[in-house]
Structure 1
Amino acid sequence: MVRLRRRRNPAATVTAGVVMGGVAVAAWVFQPPGMKVHEGATAGQLLVSADGRTLTLSIGWSCERQPDLVVRETADTVKVSIRHTVAPGFCDLGGYGRITAQLKAPLGGRSLTDATTGRPVVHFDGRNLVRPTYLPDNYYPTPAYRMVQLPSAAPVPAGTPDWTTGYQVGTEPGAGSSLVIRQALGASTPPADRATTVNGRPATFTDPNPSHGPRSLTWSDGTYTFSVTSSGPTPLPDQELIRVAQGLK
C-alpha cells in the first residue's frame, strides 16, 4: 500500500466525495482538532470465504486512515459496516486495498446486512470461487492493495455478486503486465466481437485497440460469467488467455 500525506491549512474546511478504484469513499480536506471516527455503509466487492468465517472487502479511501471492516453477530444475522478514522490536522491522500474481518462462527444461513442501511449486503460465496490451475511464466499474485486499480473488461450490473483476482509479471509493484480474472453470478451473452470457445462454450475476445491496451476473454457457463483480462506493456496472446480460462477450476 502506498500512502502519501499532505498538510492542510487548519483554517480551511472542505468536504468532498471521491471515487477510488470504482468505490465511492468519503474525503475530508480539513479535520478539526481531535480524532474523528464514524461508521458508514459498505461499498465494493465483498467475499465470504469458503469456510464462512472471513469477510474480505475491496475498498479505496482518502483523507483518513485505512478503514476497518466491523462486524456484529447474532444468532440470526451478521451486520457489517466500515469504520472511518480521520486524524486531525492533515489530509492523507489515502490508498486502496482489501480489508478483512473474522466471524466468531461461520456465516451459514444467517443474513448479511449493512449495519447503517439495514439492507442486504451483496457478497460473493467463496465456496464457488474458481482458481487458475495454469498461469503463464513469471506471473505472481498481485498485491491486494493494487487489486481495485487493475482494469477489467466486461462490467457487471450493480448489485451482482462478483469477485476479482489478479496476477502480475514479477513481484515488484508495477513491474509489468497484469492478468485479471473476474467471476460474476449470472449467465450472460458474450459481447459481439471475435468469437471463440472456452471448454465448448461460446466466448468472445474483446480488444478495442489490438496494438496496445487490455485484451479480454469473456464467456458464461450458464451460472457465472467470467472474464480474463490481460493488460500492460505486453498483453497475453489469445492462446494464453484461452489456456488460463480453460484451467479455471
Structure 2
Amino acid sequence: MSGGQKKRRVGIVGYGHLGQYLVKQLRDNGVQHGLELAFVWNRDARKLEGTVPLELRLAKLTNVLDWHADIIVEVAHPCIAQEHGESFLKAADFMVGSPTALADVGTEQKLREAARRAGHTLYIPSGALWGGQDIQRLDRGGMLQALTVTMAKHPDSFRLGGHLGELAKGARQKRVVLYKGPVRQLCPLAPNNVNTMAAACMAAPSLGFDGVQGCLIADPVLSNHHVVETEVTGLGGFSVHTRRKNPAASGAVTGEATFAAFWSSLLVCQGHGGQVFLC
C-alpha cells in the first residue's frame, strides 16, 4: 500500500470464534492490506475485556455513525442485520456474515434499497460455498435452471431448537435428513447453520430463497469435518456437482476453512458502490 493511500476502517460486530479471528487478523496483518480496526461490538461486552482495548469497544450499535468505519462486518446473529442493517449501510459498506437474515423478504428488500440510496455495498461472503461466483455468472447469463445445496454435519455441530433439534438428537446412531425443501423456510429454523445456503440464494437471484433447494443432514460419522455439496443445473444439459470437505473441530458450528474464507472475502471489500456483491 502506498504511503498516501487511506486505510479502510473495519468495524467488527460479534466476538465469537469468527469475530475473534477477524480482529486478530486485522491487528496482525491489516496494515499490509490497507485495513485497520475501527471498533468491536459484542452483545456481552465483558467478553471484550483483556483482549480489545477500551478505545476500540463500541458500546451501542445505534452509535455506529460516530465511529467512521468504511466497512462493518457482522459475525454475530441474523437479528443484527434485520435490526441495524439499514443504519449500517447509511454509514458504511456492510458485510453480512449471517445472510440467513435475508431470507426475510422485508429485510432483503430493505437492505438492497438502503445500499442503493447510500451508494454503499451490501457484501455477501461466500463462506463455505464453493463456486459462488460461477453460479452468479450463470444466473446473470440467464442460464441457471436449478440449484441445490446439501450440508451435512455431526449432530453436535448444529444449534437447533424445536422439531429439527429433536431430529438432530435422534441422529446419534445413523444419518438423518433434517430438512429438504426451499431454503427460505429453513433459514429461520436453523439461522446459525445454513448461511452457506443463504449465500447461494443471493448468488442466484433468479431462483432466490424460494427456488434454491436446501438439504440439511445430521451424520454421526462426520466427527471432524463438515460436507457441503452443490448441484447446479443449466440450460442445454449443463450440470456441475461439487463436494467440499471442510475440517472442523468436534461440535464446531463453523468449519476451519471458513475462517480463512471470511478473511479473503473481507480483502475483496474495496467499495463496489450501491449494489449487492458476493465476495
| TM norm. shorter chain > 0.5 | no
- Bigger fraction of residues in strand: 1
Scaled by the length of structure 1, the TM-score of the pair is 0.28
Rg larger in 1 or in 2?
1
Scaled by the length of structure 2, the TM-score of the pair is 0.26
Higher relative contact order (CA 8 A, sep 6+): 2
